[in-house]
């Protein structure tokens, strides 16, 4: 391409469209404003037409300094401080992507979180956008993350802003607990924007506040934990690419905190997302990475949780013997758990969660067997999932929905359509009370699994009910 000519991209610039609409100015008005600003800056050769603005909106990226002139114009009209990246014309000198190969350094971690939270607060999203195909997977994801076990915290270079104290960090932890509770009660869709705004504020302290080494580590840990909640809510809302980026940024923050246990927690969140998207081998690899990297730092609850997930993923892959072994390990480790001694990010993993995770593993394993073995594993699954429901705290609404769905799917394993129909009624009622795309996805799976039983009226009704409920979202 000739020097000085604009670079053309394949896709329309949706960000520029968004900000032009928010500013309430026309293509012609933007062209005039850019020309005026260019002349004021001594750039006499910049004189775009209305047609040129249409080309920018179609994906053309103009030469320097036009992107900055456009950003300045739109910032004045909207009241938001905009960068070139915010309007879809990124400055190539600024690292704005959050990929698995993000450098393990404080500055890049802070910059990545700033970019993620800034763009989240300003750019609207569609609930129905399926971006699952854009996530990193396989070696693209795992190869860079294999550096995590050996990554060590860098020397923190705090700036000379206001002094940061223990009360500030405790405030972030309190807010994180509040958002965790909201996620459990209502699903991730309703509160994710608010938690990302809090993450942006906490990250600003990393960038500007004055703190000593210990306080800085604690602040990085607080931001990482808050980031894990933001990533989880985003995953639950079905926004997979953004969720993965938030998890990756949180993992880097946990690394800068020197908190391997928190890093293992974030990796298991990522593993659950990969399993949900049917990257099952990646999910198992992420769990193994968490187990290895945090092997000297995890608590009994964390070891139990990781083993329970390992059991589930082995079962999905048809490795039933390995699944049984891992389930046994999970139960053994949980026997040593004292919930009062667990960190805040592990408080959710109680006996109910253990029973649910292993119960689903037995359900999946039953599908690989036949005859009496299938019945035996299905019965064990029903027992464990029923026990999980008995133990669930009232506020774990989404978890209860998953438990009822697990019971419904286990009934179908043995052809018990009536039992599946009954459990699905409660799951559907809970689905109507929460904002969780994941629950909708699991309902869709139950819909498909009920197809072979459609001669039965209850199976037909079940599928129709699920179709109506999911379509209504």
Residue 94: pLDDT band by 50, 70, 90 thresholds?
Answer: very low
Residue 360 near residue 406, CB atoms below 8 Å: yes
Q: Is 458 exposed, middle or buried (0-12, 13-18, 19+ CB in 10 A)?
A: middle
Cα–Cα distance between 266 and 228 in angstroms, integer? 6
The 3-state DSSP composition of the chain as helix, strand, coil percent (nearest 5) reads: 70, 0, 30
- Global pTM reads 0.77
Cα–Cα distance between 448 and 458 in angstroms, integer? 14
Q: What is the pLDDT of residue 280?
A: 95
Is it true that the peptide bond before 92 is cis, omega within 30 degrees of 0?
no
Residue 284: pLDDT band by 50, 70, 90 thresholds?
Answer: very high
pLDDT surpasses 70 at 154:
yes
Residue with tokens 């608010």: 194
Q: What is the pLDDT of residue 457?
A: 93
Residue 153: pLDDT band by 50, 70, 90 thresholds?
Answer: confident
Helix (H) or strand (E) holding 61: strand 60-61
Cα–Cα distance between 252 and 147 in angstroms, integer? 11
Cα–Cα distance between 287 and 306 in angstroms, integer? 6
Nearest residue to 307 via CA among 323, 294, 283, 285: 323
Half-sphere exposure of 199 (CA within 13 A, CB side): 36
Domain ranges of the chain: 7-87, 102-298, 324-391, 393-473
Q: What is the pLDDT of residues 425-437, one digit of tens each?
A: 999 999 999 989 8
Other CB atoms within a 10 A radius of the CB of residue 145 amount to 22
Q: What is the pLDDT of residues 191-238, one digit of tens each?
A: 888 999 999 999 888 888 888 888 889 999 999 999 999 999 999 988
Residue 230 near residue 222, CB atoms below 8 Å: no
Residue with tokens 């990554």: 151
Average pLDDT over residues 251-277: 96
């Amino acid at each position: 391409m000739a020097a000085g000519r604009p670079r053309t991209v394949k896709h329309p610039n949706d960000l520029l469209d968004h900000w032009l609409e928010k500013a309430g100015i026309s293509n012609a008005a933007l062209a005039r404003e850019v020309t005026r600003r260019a002349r004021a800056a001594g750039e006499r050769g910049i004189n775009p037409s209305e047609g040129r603005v249409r080309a920018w909106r179609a994906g053309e990226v103009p030469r320097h300094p036009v992107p900055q002139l456009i950003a300045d114009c739109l910032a004045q009209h909207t009241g938001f401080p905009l960068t070139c990246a915010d309007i879809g014309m990124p400055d190539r000198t600024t690292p704005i992507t959050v990929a698995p190969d993000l450098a393990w350094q404080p500055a890049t971690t802070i910059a990545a979180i700033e970019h993620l939270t800034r763009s989240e607060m300003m750019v609207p999203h569609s609930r129905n956008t399926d971006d699952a195909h854009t996530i990193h997977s396989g070696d693209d994801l795992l190869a860079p993350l294999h550096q995590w076990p050996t990554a060590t915290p860098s020397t923190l270079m705090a700036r000379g802003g206001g002094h940061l104290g223990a009360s500030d960090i405790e405030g972030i932890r309190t807010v994180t607990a509040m958002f965790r509770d909201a996620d459990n009660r209502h699903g991730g869709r309703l509160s994710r924007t608010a938690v990302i705004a809090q993450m942006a504020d906490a990250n600003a302290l990393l960038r500007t506040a004055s703190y000593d080494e210990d306080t800085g580590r604690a602040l990085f840990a607080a931001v990482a934990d808050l980031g894990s909640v933001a990533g989880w809510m985003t995953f639950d809302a079905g926004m997979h690419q953004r969720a993965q980026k938030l998890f990756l940024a949180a993992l880097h923050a946990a690394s800068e905190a020197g908190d391997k246990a928190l890093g293992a927690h974030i990796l298991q969140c990522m593993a659950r997302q990969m399993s949900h998207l049917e990257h099952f081998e990646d999910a198992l690899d992420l769990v193994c990475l968490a187990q290895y990297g945090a092997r000297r730092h995890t608590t009994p609850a964390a070891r139990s949780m990781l083993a329970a997930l390992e059991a589930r993923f082995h079962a999905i892959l048809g490795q039933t013997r390995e699944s049984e072994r891992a389930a046994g390990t999970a139960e053994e480790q949980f026997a040593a758990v004292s919930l009062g001694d667990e960190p805040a990010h592990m408080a959710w993993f109680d006996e109910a969660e253990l029973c649910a995770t292993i119960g689903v593993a037995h359900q999946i394993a039953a599908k690989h067997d036949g005859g009496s073995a299938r019945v035996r594993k299905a019965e064990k699954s029903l027992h464990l999932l029923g026990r999980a429901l008995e133990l669930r705290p009232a506020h774990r609404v989404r978890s209860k929905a998953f438990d009822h769905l697990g019971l419904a799917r286990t009934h179908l394993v043995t052809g018990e359509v009536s039992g599946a129909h009954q459990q699905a009624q409660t799951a559907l009622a809970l689905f109507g009370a929460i904002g969780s795309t994941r629950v909708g996805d699991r309902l869709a799976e139950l819909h498909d699994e009920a197809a072979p039983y459609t001669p039965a009226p209850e199976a037909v009704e079940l599928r129709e009910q699920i179709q109506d409920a999911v379509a209504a979202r």
